[in-house]
Structure 1
């Protein structure tokens, strides 16, 4: 994580993660710092997990947590919620009984406590890549495959404040 000023000069930098592959996919500003979302191989059980890092305004680590299940899970985007939490979207293999990825959507509070999680998908791989907070819920942009042999289609979902269709 690198913070630069208006002239492009580095103000500070910070690194997070463990000994294996870890990466950030999205960041959002908070009232007291930043929240990064991405993936980690360092802290999972031989699978990739969602990795969330909360920092202060200078990039100092406040907390880091992993989310997901027993298989590969990834986060691609995050949006703050009106109550001080965060809603994160990506994809998960952990909760799909058909041996593929489903869109993975979950909410955490400001301290990283999991409040709810949902998965949506069909017979083949599905994912959510971006999320927008609305007054009455969230709009998610992603992709969906109707079967493993076909190309992906654009997939847009509107969910309520608890992540339900």
Structure 2
């Protein structure tokens, strides 16, 4: 993450993530002047990829992070700030694991509600295949 002046000169830069593949899909500015980074990680969590959300202050200092996911591929794409925290929008993959080499997988829309400190409050998977 990099914050620049309007002329493009760098104010500060920060790096987040682990030792494997991590990527940010979007960034939103929060009401407190900080930022929420929404993406995916294979460095942390339970599955191949998991939803990865990082909250930083206005100087880029990490305040908290959270990882949500299941056994297969889960991706965080966008978020919106709510009165009680954040609504994370992503996808989750469910697979028939009877044949791992040729697993039959389906992808679903997934909403994760976090409180202002990053604790998961609710999780809703829409059961219509993408």
Equivalent residue number for residue 152 of structure 1: 107
Describe the SS at the equivalent of 2:12: strand
Q: Distance in 2 between matches of 1:87 and 1:128?
A: 12
Q: Distance in 1 between matches of 2:104 and 2:51?
A: 19
Q: Are 2:76 and 1:128 equivalent residues in the alignment?
A: yes
Q: Distance in 2 between matches of 1:144 and 1:91?
A: 11
The Cα of 1:97 is off from its aligned counterpart by 4.5
The Cα of 1:135 is off from its aligned counterpart by 1.7
The Cα of 1:157 is off from its aligned counterpart by 1.4
Q: Higher strand proportion, which one? A: 2
RMSD value, Cα: 1.3
Q: Are 2:90 and 1:142 equivalent residues in the alignment?
A: yes
- Listed one character per residue, the Cα deviations across residues 42-96 of structure 1 (whole Å, up to 9, x for unaligned) are xxxxxxxxxx110112221111111001111000111112221111110000013
The Cα of 1:149 is off from its aligned counterpart by 3.2
Number of aligned residue pairs: give it: 113
Equivalent residue number for residue 21 of structure 2: 72
Equivalent residue number for residue 13 of structure 1: none
- Listed one character per residue, the Cα deviations across residues 13-59 of structure 1 (whole Å, up to 9, x for unaligned) are xxxxxxxxxxxxxxxxxxxxxxxxxxxxxxxxxxxxxxx11011222
Q: Could you list the runs of 4 or more consecutive aligned residues of structure 1 that deviate by over 4 angstroms after TM superposition?
A: none
- Whose relative contact order is higher, 1 or 2, with alpha carbons under 8 Å and at least 6 apart? 2
Q: Distance in 1 between matches of 2:65 and 2:22?
A: 13
Equivalent residue number for residue 12 of structure 2: 63
The Cα of 1:124 is off from its aligned counterpart by 0.5
Extract unaligned runs of 5+ from structure 1.
1-51
Match of 1:96 among 45, 55, 58: 45
Extract unaligned runs of 5+ from structure 2.
96-102, 121-130
